[in-house]
Structure 1
Amino acid sequence: MKYDARSLPASLGGGEARLARRQHMPELRFTKGDMVASAFVNALEDGRYRGLVLLSRDGGGSDDAQVYRAEPTLDSESEALEQAGALAQHLLKRYEN
């Protein structure tokens, strides 16, 4: 599994995050200290799914949040959510150190 752990530009990341939440996709939530990682799935126009992670500080404003995307896109919504969950845990481990 390959992860693209680069932060997305606000214009792309914010839109994808809002789109996935608007479609009521399943979401996983992970916390480590004051960091919160919400993993969710975005249904794409081509019928595939992309796992996304919204990483923020607990109680922080939305300006502090960063969106990360898992690569590649997948045919299965459940696999994309699993992939996003793994990316969320990976990102939180980076904040441990």
Structure 2
Amino acid sequence: MAAVQYRKADWIAQADIQELADGRYQGVVMMSHELGADSEDTRHEVEAPSDSPEQALEQAVALAHRLLADVAR
């Protein structure tokens, strides 16, 4: 389950983190576009890993906001 979820029209952005093998953390965002009975899912990752889960989640939330802003254009 996502740590944070945002919705804009028929788009959902779920921001979360994953722990990497080296002990750092990666922010990830799953974008879903609901199309009636179907949905289209796309995974996006924050470019740079973080040393803390809190920082990784902050970066994932920022990415989720940017992605939702882009789909609104």
TM-score of the aligned structures, taking structure 2 as reference length: 0.89
Unaligned runs of 5+ in 2: none
* 4+ runs deviating over 6 angstroms: none
Share of identical aligned residues, percent? 37
**Structure 2 residue aligned with 1:65, among 12, 37, 41?**
41
Distance 2:10 2:3 in 1: 19
User: Which structure has more helix as a fraction of its residues?
Assistant: 1
TM-score of the aligned structures, taking structure 1 as reference length: 0.68
Unaligned runs of 5+ in 1: 1-20
The alpha carbon displacement at 1:48 in A equals 0.1
User: Which structure has more strand as a fraction of its residues?
Assistant: 2
Q: CA RMSD in A?
A: 1.4
The alpha carbon displacement at 1:69 in A equals 0.3
In structure 1, what is the equivalent of residue 59 of structure 2? 83
The alpha carbon displacement at 1:51 in A equals 0.2
